[in-house]
Amino acid sequence: MPNFTINGMSATVAEGTTILAAAKQIGIEIPHYCYHPRLSIAGNCRMCLVEVEKFPKLQIACNTVVTEGMVVRTDTAKVNKAVTGVLELMLINHPVDCPICDQAGECGLQNYYMKFGLHKSRFAIEDKVHKKKVQDIGGQIVLDAERCILCSRCVRFLREVTKTGELDFFQRGDHSEISIFPGRPLDNSYTGNLADICPVGALTSKDFRFKCRVWFLSGVESICPGCSTGCNIEAHFREDVLYRLKPRENEDVNESWMCDEGRLEYKKANENRLLAPALREGGRTVAAAWDAVLFTTAHRLRGSVEAHGSDSVAVIASPHSSNEELFLVRKLAAEVLKTENFGFTSRTPGPRSSDDFLIKADKNPNSRGAQLLGFSEEKFDRIVKAISGGKVQALLLFGNVLADFSDAEIGSLLSNVPFVAHVGTCAGAVSRAAHAVLPSSSFVERGGTFTNFAGRVQRFRAGFPPRGKAKNDIEILVGLASQLGAGWAFPGETAVFDALAAEVAPFAGMSYEALGSRGRLAGGSK
């Protein structure tokens, strides 16, 4: 445990810590481009030069290990001059096309230029070396070789994390540039991360390209709803439109990465949304007031319990619902409707690709939570059988899809039920077959927790209020329960989670504070 001094402050850090990492721990920022905590150290950008006593020359902080009694200074004129010089060299051939660059606003060159550079260019614009711009190199990435500062983060990422190695340096001197090998585009499921780790605008996202300037975006901590891995993400939105998802660091789940498939999950929160409650009247679905829809749904559910017994109603929960919502769904089914017919399925339509890193075959964020809360797939199968047999008079259905059934199958299956109430976010076969549509909110419009495949309970937060006339799922469930005569008092997801933690064994002792930013494993998980 060496003790060292940096800018006059002394600190003790773990053996083998580099100066850059040690400085970060005590809150001193050393500028850097090529260093990335999750990649090997290259030491080629030379931005992190610091002055170390008894060293004749400046040292790179990213690759100098702290030793006992080391005295480091990052704020001397010598360091400043060196850093400014390095920056000027990097900018010599930079096209300075910030107006059309998507990185602008979160660009390492812009930030450090404002901090250390602010110099006039001493290099005539005609003398700049031009390289190929706008190259589609596969995956989700667009490459602009001109903007590249050759830090090699992308090369190391593809070698060390995905182990595919599609990118490499070509040419020499100031003509050297990064590129793919001819005819072999990026071919892995994690290309989106290249745009994140690239400190400049060389590698940018094809999907996000020109959609929005980053300074307009607000971020909210969230969990990727794309599969049961539960990657920690930050959801970026402007007003009520979601623009992109970015990975958020969580050592226990996704480190700093996320998959390409997950990055496109945001589209489901934007497109094809159900925005107004509706009722089916005489074969046509017409918009109705929330009160009317809740009343009709409650009335039909209670009516069939009274007329045909509690077995005539069924509740199908969705593994896209949060633990809180699932808890309330179970409560509604078991305690208010007093039926045993509640189940869920983790089956989903579409490909169920998986790998041994972040992508799981279960494309639901909360299947494990549903299981822990007492929903089972066997019951789901039984309910489906009962529906086919015409035994279900009223069905309360959550989620936008129904297992892996095709649209036609969903239509013919639900036509056996006299009353289907659909709680979901997107229009589709289910909402078309429903007699009452209760639009709910997407994962950025509500807060709650998901339990990932490993049983880790992780929190996601609301970024903006539900779109249109849609409502929070918890509000819908509480409204439904109160129409059915149960006096629930759950003002928000916090109250529900506290009740859940008190009632359901695997969640015992949990609270939002206790979950923190990394989540907690539910009891009974490995």
Partner 1 sequence: MTIGVKKVARPRKMSFGESLYLIEIVKGLGVTIGHFLHNVAHNKDIPTIEYPEVRRTMPPRFRGCHRLMKRMDGTPRCVACYMCATACPAECITIVAGESPDATVEKYPVSFDIDMLRCVFCGQCVEACPCDAIRMDTGWYTPPDDSREKLIFKIERLLEK
State which residue, 184 or 209, has the beta carbon closest to partner 1: 209
State which residue, 239 or 378, has the beta carbon closest to partner 1: 239
Which stretch in 27-35, 121-129, 209-217, 322-330 sits in contact with partner 1 by CB under 8 A? Answer: 209-217
Binding positions for partner 1, 227-256, rule CB under 8 A: none
State which residue, 267 or 338, has the beta carbon closest to partner 1: 267
Extract the tokens encoding 402. 């129904």
Binding positions for partner 1, 68-97, rule CB under 8 A: 97
Q: SS3 of 439, please? A: strand
According to CB under 8 A, which one of 14, 26, 92, 100 is a site residue for partner 1?
A: 100
What are the strands of the beta sheet with 3-6, ordered from one edge?
9-12, 3-6, 71-73, 49-52, 59-60
CB of 98 to partner 1, least distance (A): 8
CB of 100 to partner 1, least distance (A): 4
According to CB under 8 A, which one of 89, 134, 286, 289 is a site residue for partner 1?
A: 134
According to CB under 8 A, which one of 115, 119, 211, 518 is a site residue for partner 1?
A: 211
CB of 182 to partner 1, least distance (A): 20
CB 8 within 8 A of CB 31: no
User: Residue 168 pairs with which residues in a beta bridge?
Assistant: 179
Does residue 515 interact with partner 1 by CB under 8 A? no
Catalogue the long-range contacts made by 495-504 (C-beta closer than 8 Å, 24 or more residues apart). 496/324, 496/325, 496/327, 496/328, 497/323, 497/324, 497/448, 497/449, 499/327, 500/323, 500/324, 500/327, 500/373, 503/327, 504/327, 504/372, 504/373
Does residue 98 interact with partner 1 by CB under 8 A? yes
Catalogue the long-range contacts made by 48-53 (C-beta closer than 8 Å, 24 or more residues apart). 48/20, 49/79, 49/82, 49/83, 49/86, 50/19, 50/74, 50/79, 51/76, 51/78, 51/79, 52/19
CB of 41 to partner 1, least distance (A): 34
State which residue, 99 or 283, has the beta carbon closest to partner 1: 99
- What's the half-sphere exposure (Cβ side, CA atoms, 13 Å) at 421? 27
Number of residues binding to partner 1, judged by CB under 8 A: 13
The amino acid at residue 447 is: G
According to CB under 8 A, which one of 128, 133, 238, 308 is a site residue for partner 1?
A: 133
Extract the tokens encoding 139. 């995956």
State which residue, 133 or 469, has the beta carbon closest to partner 1: 133
According to CB under 8 A, which one of 27, 99, 173, 283 is a site residue for partner 1?
A: 99
Buried b / exposed e along 362-397 (16+ C-beta atoms within 10 A): bbbbbbbbbbbbbbebebbeebbebbeeebbbbbbb
Q: SS3 of 244, please? A: strand
According to CB under 8 A, which one of 119, 175, 184, 213 is a site residue for partner 1?
A: 213
Which stretch in 208-216, 309-317, 366-374, 375-383 sits in contact with partner 1 by CB under 8 A? Answer: 208-216
Extract the tokens encoding 53. 């006593």
Binding positions for partner 1, 382-441, rule CB under 8 A: none
Q: How many CB atoms lie within 10 A of CB 7?
A: 14
Does residue 209 interact with partner 1 by CB under 8 A? yes
State which residue, 175 or 211, has the beta carbon closest to partner 1: 211
Buried b / exposed e along 425-434 (16+ C-beta atoms within 10 A): bbbbbbbebb
Distance CA 479, CA 325 (A): 13
State which residue, 213 or 267, has the beta carbon closest to partner 1: 213
State which residue, 211 or 518, has the beta carbon closest to partner 1: 211
Distance CA 105, CA 335 (A): 52
Cβ within 8 Å of residue 378, ≥6 positions away: 343
Does residue 111 interact with partner 1 by CB under 8 A? no
State which residue, 99 or 487, has the beta carbon closest to partner 1: 99
Extract the tokens encoding 304. 């069939």
Does residue 182 interact with partner 1 by CB under 8 A? no
State which residue, 98 or 334, has the beta carbon closest to partner 1: 98
According to CB under 8 A, which one of 210, 378, 389, 513 is a site residue for partner 1?
A: 210
CB of 88 to partner 1, least distance (A): 21
State which residue, 175 or 213, has the beta carbon closest to partner 1: 213
The amino acid at residue 102 is: D
**Interface residue list for partner 1 (CB under 8 A):** 97-100, 104, 133-134, 209-211, 213, 215-216
